[in-house]
Structure 1
Amino acid sequence: PDNKALSFCHSCGHFFCKDCLQEGIEFYYCKKESCQQQLQEEKLQKAENSIITNKKSITNQYKFMEKIFILGIIGSILLFIGVFTPIVSIPIMGNINYFNNGKGDGVIILAISILSFILVLFKKYKGLLYTGFGSLAVLIFTFVNFQIKMNEITSQMNSELADNPFKELANTAISSIQLQWGWALLVIGSILIITSSKLKNEKFI
């Protein structure tokens, strides 16, 4: 009775000193049997809530990892398919794909796509950052190289056919050379592979 009251019991509402109270997870409880029972119920409820929260966290993590896996798989497949789709159309010759019968840079992209697929299967997402940027680097190199060659051909044609009546016909043929939809698959595939790796790294840093 002489001790100063610390707080009140959350169950019965009476004030008690420090020695007569037991601290729960959120509230104080006195040492009466009924109040102690409520203390145990509070602890049990807290434990149940913690289990539910952990289950939700694990479920969300699993779903997130599943999305990363799917992104990596789709990216690898798109990159693989893109190698065999038309990237340039040339008059008379028709469409040319990136593989070009094993002579083009598409061979490198093909190898990268297979490697990326294997990395995803084994969940080695960090490696996808290298394969993704590697494939983009090869694509950029090919694109820039293509533009340089086109400019060289155009300049050469204008120089050699300056007074030739077939100059316009040659220019028309050159202007008919067009990039094709295969580029879209290749670029999207590379971006998805990079995204898969970045999401994994950012989520679990």
Structure 2
Amino acid sequence: MLNLGLAMAGAALLALGAFLPAFSLGAISVTYFKGGDGDGVFVVLAAAIIFLGAIAKKRRIVGYAGIASLALVVFGMFTLSSRLSEGKADLARELDGNPFAGLAMSISESASMEWGWAVMLLGAILAIFGGFVTERWLKDRYG
């Protein structure tokens, strides 16, 4: 039952992480859920599937939903990271010679990924672990 408890904890972290800050630009923070418009909706749905699968003791469903949620989160992280890099490079090129370039560049430099990603990653890993690791394996390793 410990493995399914880990899966439930992973589902809770996944769902929570979708509502935590994922991106910030200065004082403005955006969650991965984005009010129901973002990919965080799919992460929350995967978390619900993981939780219900754990209650029903369907370990494979839990594990595969964990893998799907991990793929969604990693894809979202890399997409955001590449968009941030491209946006900063484009802004630097477009503002070359502009007297307000320094101000615009300092604002763009404040754009960053936030800690909600780490919570979602941890949740997905716990769900995968809880779905594919057997209770016996856990007892053999950790008593």
Tell me, yes or no, if the aligned pair for 1:126 and 1:201 is still in contact at 8 Å: no
Instruction: Tell me the alpha carbon deviations over residues 138-192 of structure 1, each in whole angstroms, 9 at most, x when there is no partner.
Output: 1111111112211221122111110012111111111111221111110010000
Please list, as runs of the form range in 1=range in 2, the aligned pairs for 1:84-123 lying within 5 A after superposition. Answer: 84-92=19-27, 94-123=28-57
Question: Using a 3 Å threshold, how does the CA distance of structure 1 residues 178 and 151 change in structure 2: closer, same or farther?
Answer: closer
Tell me, yes or no, if the aligned pair for 2:51 and 2:62 is still in contact at 8 Å: no
Question: Using a 3 Å threshold, how does the CA distance of structure 1 residues 139 and 202 change in structure 2: closer, same or farther?
Answer: farther
Q: Is 1:77 aligned to residue 12 of structure 2?
A: yes
Structure 1 unaligned residues grouped into runs of 5+: 1-65
State the match for 1:162 in structure 2.
96
Please list, as runs of the form range in 1=range in 2, the aligned pairs for 1:1-205 lying within 5 A after superposition. Answer: 66-92=1-27, 94-200=28-134, 203=137
Distance of 2:65 and 2:92 partners within structure 1: 41
Distance of 1:79 and 1:106 partners within structure 2: 9
TM-score, normalised relative to structure 1: 0.63
How many percent of aligned residue pairs carry the same amino acid? 30
Q: CA RMSD of the aligned region, Å?
A: 1.5
Q: Which has the larger radius of gyration?
A: 1
How many residue pairs match? The answer is: 137
- SS of equivalent to 2:134: helix
Structure 2 unaligned residues grouped into runs of 5+: 138-143
Distance of 1:179 and 1:150 partners within structure 2: 9
- SS of equivalent to 1:69: helix
Structure 1 counterpart of 2:94, one-letter code: E
Distance of 2:123 and 2:96 partners within structure 1: 43
TM-score, normalised relative to structure 2: 0.89
Instruction: Tell me the alpha carbon deviations over residues 114-157 of structure 1, each in whole angstroms, 9 at most, x when there is no partner.
Output: 01000000000111221111111111111111122112211221
Structure 1 counterpart of 2:4, one-letter code: F
Shift of 1:200: 2.0
- SS of equivalent to 1:96: strand
- SS of equivalent to 1:144: helix
Distance of 1:149 and 1:202 partners within structure 2: 44
Higher helix share: 2
